[in-house]
Amino acid sequence: MATGVVNTVFRLRSFLAAYARSLVAYGVVAALWIAASLLIAGFGAYAHLRYIVELAAVIGLVAVGQTVAVIAGGIDLSVSAVITVTAIILPLLSFDVDVSGLGAIALALAVAAGIGAVNGFAIGFLGLPPLIMTLAMATILQGLLVLIAGGSAISVSNATLDWLGSAHVLTVSAGIILWLAVAGACLFWLHGTRSGALVFAIGANPIVSRLSGVPIPRITLAIYVLSAICAGLAGLLLLSMNGQGYVGIGDPYLLSSIAAVVLGGTSILGGRGSYLGTIAGAVLLVTMTALITVVNASEGWRSVILGCLILGMLPLSGRDQSR
């Protein structure tokens, strides 16, 4: 019996030690929410906090793939382009036969997965640097989108998306539930399965991983497909909240997804971190934006404060140990 207790305590302690950096962001969010609720009338209302989490759900979904890519020592700079792609092609994929709209959604996500597969293949099998491959992909998609869609906004009517954008289950928005479900699956994959552990191994030391027989190309492919699908889901959620897709709809989400990952304590150098922290990072970002909006700051101030926030949180994300 005693060993069982010791074992549990030990596991709890090692968990806390490993994820202490991820938990800092939760403390900051809690402190901000309590302080803001006391100081600003209406901030602490359930509906307002729910609205903050709803906005965070979009960032959080994009950041699922971003977190996994960063833990594996990579980065995905094409997420904003993938968001825009799904938000723009979904209206083009609607058919009369497809009453529920699920078919169009599946097709749009398949397109996103295809983009991710191209990224993953080039990075995993050809060995292109993730930064250059995903940046180039973002540029290509950006050009293609303007060529295809032009400057106009495209409205959508899709039964499933309408439900996603407006429904509440026990007063919790459907978008938040979607986020929680994806987050739970991601956490289980990263921390509860063999292939999830290999993601950490690749990020911590790719050479040792390769020599130990880790199928790096296959896992890398899976990571970037996952990242693109998550970005696609975020694009659909965004579309359901917005009602319209247009070129540039996904642009703000590239930097905020990376910021959420960094604020959540995941090391940008790979090998260390958890999606647990990213959840708090996403909520923290939206909370900060909401607070800045309350004091009526302009877009310029918002950008400056966001940048300084990331710089200030750098010590959490880890230093370059190699030199």
CB 243 within 8 A of CB 90: no
Shortest spacing between CB 268 and another protein, in angstroms: 5
Q: With respect to another protein, which residue has the nearer C-beta, 52 or 297? A: 297
The total number of residues written for the chain in this structure: 323
Q: With respect to another protein, which residue has the nearer C-beta, 233 or 259? A: 259
Q: With respect to another protein, which residue has the nearer C-beta, 92 or 136? A: 136
SS3 content of the chain, % helix, strand, coil (to 5): 75, 0, 20
Interface residue list for another protein (CB under 8 A): 75, 122, 126-129, 131-133, 135-140, 142-144, 146-147, 255, 258, 262, 268-269, 298-308, 310-311, 314, 317, 319-320, 323
Shortest spacing between CB 139 and another protein, in angstroms: 4
Shortest spacing between CB 300 and another protein, in angstroms: 3
Shortest spacing between CB 105 and another protein, in angstroms: 27
What's the CA gap between 47 and 32, in Å, rounded? 17
Shortest spacing between CB 207 and another protein, in angstroms: 14
Alpha helices by DSSP H, listed for 150-215, are 159-166, 174-192, 194-204, 206-211
Q: With respect to another protein, which residue has the nearer C-beta, 92 or 305? A: 305
Indicate left, alpha or beta for 152 from its phi (over 0: left) and psi (-120 to 50: alpha). Answer: beta
CB 249 within 8 A of CB 86: no
Q: With respect to another protein, which residue has the nearer C-beta, 159 or 314? A: 314
Letter string b/e over residues 219-235, b meaning 16 or more CB atoms within 10 A of that residue's CB: bbbbbbbbbbbbbbbbb
